[in-house]
Amino acid sequence: MTLHLTNNLWTLLNKKRVKNLFLTRVSQALCLVILFTFSLTAQKTQHDWVNWSGISLSFSPVKTLDFSLDQQIRFDANMSQFKSSFTELGTGIKVHNAVSFSFSYRYTQRNPYQQNKQRLSSIIRFKPDLQNNNFKLSLRLKHQFNYVWNRSESNHDLRAKISVKYDKKKWAITPFAAGELFYDMNHPTEKLSRVRGQAGIEYPFKKQWHKLAKKSIEIRYIFQQELNGKIPEAAHIIAIGMNFSFKSNKKDLDKVEKKIDKIPHEYRGF
């Protein structure tokens, strides 16, 4: 039944008029989230400059399945003090051309004054096929459960994110923007706890060491505003990340299998 509903939704979005209207409404929603985020700076807040630096590896053995490994380190107090570092393992599966599900586990090492924590996340992502192929749209809904080992400290968050990027083949860079809302599912009244607005560029390296491997660098500015507390915190985040993606090719795998078949059994080692 789920696949039937997904196919019906996909058929509806493939109509040109619906596509244009859908892109317009989503773009308006993204602009509203970003404008709302920056408008909060008018309130009494405590500002800080933060740096995020990391590396991301992903591998797709088949088109519908991928695995990922992320490592990141963060500094706050105007980028002068270690805040945290984390390692995250994830896997995702594509159930339709536009719909995918993913799950991840994160272990975070925090500064000496805080306990290390862990996170379990489940994500559903929707990427519709737009009439303008240069624009790439992504809608993401994420549930995350954060907890501290051997302690009762835990919380549930629900995150809704809208991302748009402009991927033109002749351009050397790919600009993108996103807006995100955080909902604290543990808080009895103030559910909306945090907002983020961001913009950045991705630069894919033209010279790759292999046709099945791609690498790129991302640079982005993120404004993050906490909404709860007497003096909510606002973070100006400069994030830099290296991305490496690998995928298998059936033709190459077939070539490897043919070469193995030519090796005499006594020399294969199995």
Residue 188 tokens read as 């009895």
Q: How confident is the model at residue 132 (pLDDT cuts 50, 70, 90)?
A: low
Structure-model confidence comparison of residues 216 and 32, the more confident one: 216
Structure-model confidence comparison of residues 164 and 256, the more confident one: 164
CA distance 182 to 92: 22
Which residues, other chains included, contact 36 with Cβ-Cβ below 8 Å and sequence gap of 6+? 195
Structure-model confidence comparison of residues 30 and 228, the more confident one: 228
Neighbours of 76 (CB within 10 A): 18
Paired with 49 in beta bridges are 236
Helices (H), the chain: 2-13, 16-39, 250-262
Q: Looking at residue 96, what is its pLDDT?
A: 85
Q: How confident is the model at residue 131 (pLDDT cuts 50, 70, 90)?
A: low
CA distance 42 to 15: 42
Q: How confident is the model at residue 39 (pLDDT cuts 50, 70, 90)?
A: low
Q: Looking at residue 189, what is its pLDDT?
A: 76
What is the tens place of the pLDDT at every residue in 145-196?
Answer: 999 877 677 889 999 999 999 988 888 899 999 999 999 998 777 789 999 9
Q: Which of 43-47, 109-113, 136-140 has the lowest mean pLDDT?
A: 43-47
Evaluate if residue 265 carries a pLDDT over 60.
Answer: no
What percent of the chain clears pLDDT 90, i.e. is strictly above it?
49
Question: Around 233, how many Cα atoms within 13 Å sit in the side-chain half-sphere?
Answer: 8
* Separation in Å, CA 224 to CA 158, 208, 233, 234, 257: 16, 34, 8, 6, 50
Coil, helix or strand for 70? strand
* Separation in Å, CA 45 to CA 37, 195, 216, 231, 235: 13, 14, 35, 5, 10
Q: Which one-letter amino acid corresponds to residue 221?
A: Y
